């Protein structure tokens, strides 16, 4: 009974119109979008790289073991190898955008210099050394040196 009463006295048009529309800019704005694409920023690249590599160990430890229980016929070693390759390759797609001659990128490295970032760089260097992709190792090593300047262990 009471819920019926509230529906009658509430004017939903007035309520929702007070929030405005996502597609319509505010009257006093200069048509500048309020949405910002952070995926094209060095902090996003460093964070994505670090997150992917940090989660690789979890994936290997728990998800791959679960596949073994679900489908024992799956070659777990090949699954681990393939998942590792995809994750490190995707992480590389983020970190390769870092330019050590760009002051903004250096500031972002300084901001993100921490143990997980350093560990992710070290793990990536090891992974790409095994594949003999030394150009990747060179960039990763130089980023690692920069991180160590701001995060001395």
pLDDT, one tens digit per residue, over 36-46 is 788 999 999 99
Contact 95, 140 (CB under 8 A): yes
Q: Which of the pair, 73 or 6, is modelled with greater confidence?
A: 73
In the predicted structure, residue 51 carries a pLDDT above the cut 90:
yes
The whole model's pTM is what?
0.73
* C-beta of residue 146 within 8 angstroms of C-beta of residue 100: yes
- Give the tens place of pLDDT for each residue, 53-96: 999 877 777 776 777 778 878 787 888 888 899 999 999 999 99
CB distance 16 to 79 below 8 Å: no
Pseudo-torsion of CA 132, 133, 134, 135, nearest 10°? 170
């Amino acid at each position: 009974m009471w819920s019926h009463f509230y529906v009658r006295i509430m004017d939903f048009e007035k309520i929702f119109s007070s929030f405005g529309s996502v597609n319509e800019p505010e009257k006093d704005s200069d048509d500048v979008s309020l949405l910002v694409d952070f995926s094209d920023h060095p902090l996003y690249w460093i964070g994505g790289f670090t997150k992917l590599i940090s989660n690789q160990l979890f994936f290997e430890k728990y998800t791959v073991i679960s596949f073994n229980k679900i489908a024992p016929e799956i070659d777990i070693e090949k699954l681990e190898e393939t998942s590792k390759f995809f994750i490190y390759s995707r992480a590389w797609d983020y970190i390769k955008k870092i330019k050590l001659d760009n002051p903004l990128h250096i500031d972002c490295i300084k901001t993100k210099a921490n143990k997980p970032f350093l560990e992710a760089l070290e793990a990536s260097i090891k992974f790409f050394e095994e594949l003999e992709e030394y150009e990747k190792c060179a960039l990763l090593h130089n980023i690692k040196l920069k991180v160590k300047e701001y995060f001395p262990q």
